[in-house]
């Protein structure tokens, strides 16, 4: 069997990737995370800003889907938000509703009731401020437990994605769970973007994504992605199917407006999809 070529970043500036003979870029889909909209709503009594109202704006502006992460303390998204959001997304054929959460905390009953298009499993503690690490895929006990909840979620009609640190060796273990995709935790890349460490930090993301291709495992990405740092990541990896973006998108919307920000993301995604892939000589 020929050795799998390693994707490389040439010159420290322009990312190139090898993707098993595929010569065109994947057109990445944008899922808009509404948690920050709900967080503002919850700072006052009442239901404004209404996540459903802003979810509709996002879909009308071209978002491929909506993402929420209902935590047990309901600090932002509430359980009562979920059914109306699912109904909203269902009114837009081809769009998807993605629910994130810990399958060993409060998530599985939600999936059984709501039946989102995608379930993204994250190993967050109940009181955790935000997701900050992926699953310990090198632990056989963790993989065994994940396999059970992956199968359960799939029985509800959900595509399942598992939150993963950019550790290429974790990819094969993630595949063993039966999951459909992994979601690369991108905070490390986002923090290094624009620094001398940028390309070194990016490399394991590229390697992880390439291995997913070999394994027929889908690739999502999320955490601290923005209009500034997204293009380089997508160009380097080449096969990221979906990004879920909320915090940065909400901040950018304060400057550009909610709908205009989503249009800018879609312009970026179209621009990346139009790029040719470059295959370095082996």
List, in sequence order, the alpha helices (H) in the chain.
35-42, 51-60, 79-90, 107-114, 140-155, 170-176, 187-192, 198-214, 230-237, 247-256, 258-273
What is the distance between the alpha carbons of residues 55 and 49, in angstroms, rounded to a whole number? 11
168 has a pLDDT exceeding 80: yes
* Strand bridging mode 65-68 / 9-10: unpaired
More confident residue, 131 or 66: 66
pLDDT confidence of residue 7: 43
> Who contacts 51 (Cβ-Cβ below 8 Å, separation ≥6)?
34, 37, 38, 41, 68, 77, 81, 85
CA angle 130, 240, 74 (to 5 degrees): 25
148 lies in a domain? yes
252 lies in a domain? yes
Task: Give 245's DSSP letter.
Answer: E
254 lies in a domain? yes
User: What mean pLDDT comes out for the span 147-172?
Assistant: 97
21 lies in a domain? no
What is the distance between the alpha carbons of residues 106 and 72, in angstroms, rounded to a whole number? 7
Residue 128 confidence class, pLDDT cut points 50, 70, 90: low
Question: What's the start-to-end Cα distance of the chain, in Å?
Answer: 15
117 annotated as ligand-binding: no
pLDDT confidence of residue 15: 36
pLDDT confidence of residue 74: 85
44 annotated as ligand-binding: yes
Residue 83 φ then ψ, to 5°: -65, -45
224 annotated as ligand-binding: yes
pLDDT confidence of residue 23: 55
Tally of domains in the chain: 1
71 annotated as ligand-binding: yes
Any idea which residues carry the catalytic annotation? 69, 100, 223
24 lies in a domain? no
95 lies in a domain? yes
Nearest to 124 by CA among 78, 72, 84, 74: 72
pLDDT confidence of residue 73: 86
The lowest-confidence range among 115-119, 132-136, 183-187, 252-256 is 132-136
15 lies in a domain? no
What is the distance between the alpha carbons of residues 142 and 234, in angstroms, rounded to a whole number? 29
pLDDT digits (tens, 9 = 90+) for 94-110: 999 999 999 999 899 99
50 lies in a domain? yes
What is the CATH classification number for the domain harbouring 249?
A: 3.20.20.70
User: Cis before residue 49, ω within 30 degrees of 0?
Assistant: yes
More confident residue, 195 or 1: 195
Quickly tell me which residue has 């994947």 as its tokens. Answer: 26
pLDDT digits (tens, 9 = 90+) for 221-245: 999 999 999 999 999 999 999 999 9
User: What mean pLDDT comes out for the span 252-274?
Assistant: 97
More confident residue, 207 or 133: 207
* C-alpha Rg value of the chain to the nearest Å: 18
**Residue ranges making up the domain that contains 60:** 29-274
Residue 46 confidence class, pLDDT cut points 50, 70, 90: confident
């Amino acid at each position: 069997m020929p050795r799998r070529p390693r994707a490389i970043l040439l010159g420290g500036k322009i990312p190139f990737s090898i993707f098993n003979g595929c010569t065109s870029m994947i057109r990445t889909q944008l899922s808009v995370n509404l948690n920050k909209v709900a967080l503002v709503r919850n700072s006052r009594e009442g239901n404004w800003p209404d996540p459903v109202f802003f979810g509709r704006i996002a879909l009308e502006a071209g978002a491929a889907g909506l993402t929420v992460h209902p935590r047990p303390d309901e600090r932002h998204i509430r359980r009562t938000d979920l059914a109306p959001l699912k109904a909203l997304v269902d009114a837009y054929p081809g769009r998807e509703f993605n629910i994130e959460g810990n399958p060993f905390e409060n998530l599985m009953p939600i999936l059984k009731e709501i039946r989102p298009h995608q379930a993204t499993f994250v190993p967050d503690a109940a009181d955790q401020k935000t997701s900050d690490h992926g699953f310990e895929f090198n632990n056989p006990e963790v993989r065994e437990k994940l396999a059970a909840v992956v199968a359960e979620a799939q029985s509800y009609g959900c595509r399942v994605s598992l939150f993963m640190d950019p550790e290429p060796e974790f990819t094969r273990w993630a595949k063993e769970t039966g999951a459909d995709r992994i979601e690369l935790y991108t905070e490390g890349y986002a923090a290094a973007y624009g620094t001398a460490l940028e390309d070194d930090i990016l490399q394991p993301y590229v390697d992880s994504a390439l291995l997913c291709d070999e394994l027929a495992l889908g690739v999502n990405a999320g955490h601290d992605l923005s209009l500034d740092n997204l293009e380089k990541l997508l160009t380097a990896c080449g096969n990221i199917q979906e990004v879920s973006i909320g915090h940065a998108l909400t901040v950018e919307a304060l400057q550009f407006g909610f709908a205009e920000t989503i249009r800018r993301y879609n312009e970026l995604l179209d621009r990346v999809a139009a790029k040719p892939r470059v295959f370095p000589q082996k």
